[in-house]
A and B are shown apart, each in its own frame.
Chain A
Amino acid sequence: MIIRLIRTGGFIPVTKVSETKVDFSDQELANLLVTIKHDTAAPKIKDGQYYELNVGTDSTPIDLEKVPDKYKDLFNKLKSDLKIIK
């Protein structure tokens, strides 16, 4: 499956996207999303940037600080590959 990391927000709102192919099972993806889901009830950070993980037609707000060690390299690569959507 293809997963897309999307970053929005910031001092001036800019959207950046990167994507990669992974061989997650549906269950593994579901477990990962539960673990890294962003708490949308948390106070909004002024000028903050936000991430979401998009798979197919579903997007989930995520917190990169919650990414388990097993997936750190994957998400670091996705983060460093982010490109501005024109």
Chain B
Amino acid sequence: MCKNHFTPIHCIIPPYMLKRLMESDNKKVADLATKTNFRSFRFRNDRIFFHKASLQERAIFGLISKQAGKDILKMEVYDCKQKTDFINASLLWDSKTNQKITSVAGKNVIKGGKASWDFYWQLLSRNSIDNKGMLIKQYVHFDKGMDNAYWDGRRMVYGDGDGIVFSSFTSDIDVIGHELTHGVTENESNLNYDNQAGALNESFSDIFGIMIKQRFNNQDVKKSNWLIGERVMIGPKYALRSLKAPGTAYINHPELGTDPQPATMDKYQNLPDTQSGDFGGVHINSGIPNFAFYVAAFNMGGYAWEKAGRIWYAVLTDINLVQNAKFADVKNLTIIHAEKIFGLNSPEVFAVKQGWLEAKV
């Protein structure tokens, strides 16, 4: 129903009649018809804009209730039974039927998948991996003793670990959030997966992974230990990565030695862009932007997702974040978005600048 009832001719006059009225010799009628035509044009374009708008954009304009879509999580969990093919994997659980299961790995990924989906939806109005309600597919018990988890462009895949150095890769919510965030990045800037862009790709996954865990555990920046994968790595002194102190997640580990991540740009490792070179050290140099985020979030205080998380998400979804971005590009974008969200010279802008300064970027 039209709500612009400034005059009786609004909304009820067909276009051909309006055109005739705009050409009327009566100046008053012609003026009125022209203004009506202009309003109709704007109204039509508004409708087109909102029709095409993402859920996030519609939420910004207050057009949707965040709780209204609470039931639209779509997720399936499959058991690969320690084989390496997906076709013969059996369905363990799906969000439609929400059946009870006994598999620990299955329960872990349901919990982690829900925590990740809730984080993106409830805090950032993002509807799943693609922001269009994509079905989240998770595969557990992949291969015999696979000590890894990965995102292959369509699904999240978890191994059971070798039982010596690594336990099941489903054991930590941050690892699940990390893999899901690879899907988010792929649907946004689609950052390359080598050198600095690859390290940023990894860093966004670590940053959102740790925030998903912090929120699930109700931990603020002081309470969190900022460790990723502390249950996946067997042994109380070990974790996969540390955002607070990159390079210290494991020290003198009997099998792995010491965590190779640098925290600062002067320690950046120039590795070959090959499989054996970790594509230029994407899992190694990610320590640098990880540390910048930690410092920024810690200095802002409270819960990381309330301020720093909003800034980093704005960057992750910014069309100006190019596929081959470098650390300095993300530094600049985080400052721009901190200024937009919290204002010029705000403590949040200062905290972001301080983060990158301490990471020596």
A41 to B194, CA, bound (A): 14
User: Is B144 positioned at the interface, with any CB of A under 8 Å from its CB?
Assistant: yes
Contact pick for B284, options A10, A13, A48, CB 8 Å: A13
Shortest CB distance B221–A (Å): 24
Interface string of B175-190 (1 = CB under 8 A from A): 1001100100010000
Interfacial residues, chain B to chain A (CB-CB below 8 A): 84, 144, 146-153, 165, 169, 175, 178-179, 182, 186, 193-194, 201, 205, 229, 240-241, 255-257, 260, 275-276, 278-279, 283-284
Known: A11-B229, A12-B283, A52-B275. A47 touches B255 (CB 8 A): no
Point out the residue from B84, B144, B241, B276 that lies within 8 Å of A80, measured CB to CB: B144
Shortest Cβ distance from B260 into A: residue: A13
- The range of chain A's interface size is 20 to 34
A44-B193, A47-B182 known; 14 new pairs, CB 8 Å cut-off, are A10-B147, A11-B178, A11-B229, A13-B278, A44-B194, A45-B150, A46-B151, A46-B193, A47-B149, A47-B150, A47-B178, A65-B84, A80-B144, A84-B165
Closest to B192 in A: A44
B153 touches A43 (CB 8 A): yes
Tell me if B278 and A86 are in contact (CB < 8 A): no
Main secondary structure of the interface of B (DSSP, over half): loop
A18 at the interface (CB under 8 A from B): no
User: Please, how many angstroms separate the alpha-carbon atoms of A64 and B144 in the complex?
Assistant: 14
Write the residues of chain A forming the contact surface with B, with a CB cutoff of 8 angstroms: 6, 8-15, 43-50, 52, 61, 64-65, 80, 84, 86
What B residues does A45 contact at CB under 8 A?
150-153
Bound complex: CA A47 to CA B147 (Å): 11
* Between-chain CB contacts (< 8 Å), 21 pairs: A8-B275, A8-B276, A9-B275, A11-B229, A11-B283, A12-B241, A12-B256, A13-B278, A13-B284, A44-B193, A44-B194, A45-B150, A46-B150, A46-B186, A47-B283, A48-B152, A49-B146, A50-B276, A64-B84, A86-B256, A86-B257
Q: How many A-B residue pairs have CB under 8 A?
A: 75
Residues of chain A lying within 8 A (CB to CB) of residue B241? 12
In the complex, the answer to whether B276 meets A15 with C-beta atoms within 8 Å is yes
Q: Which partner residue on chain A sits nearest B169 by CB separation?
A: A11
- Contacting pair A47 B278 (CB below 8 A): no
Q: What 3 pairs across the A-B complex have the smallest Cβ distances?
A: A50-B275, A46-B182, A47-B150
Q: Select one of B84, B169, B179, B276 contacting A46, CB under 8 A.
A: B179
How far is A52 from B150 in the complex, measured between Cα atoms in Å? 19
Is the Cβ of A12 less than 8 Å from the Cβ of B152? no
Q: With A and B bound together, what is the CA distance between A14 and B162 in angstroms?
A: 13
Evaluate whether A46 and B201 lie within 8 angstroms (CB atoms) in the complex, with A11-B169, A12-B240, A52-B276 already known: yes
Selected from A6, A43, A48, the residue in CB contact (under 8 A) with B276 is A6
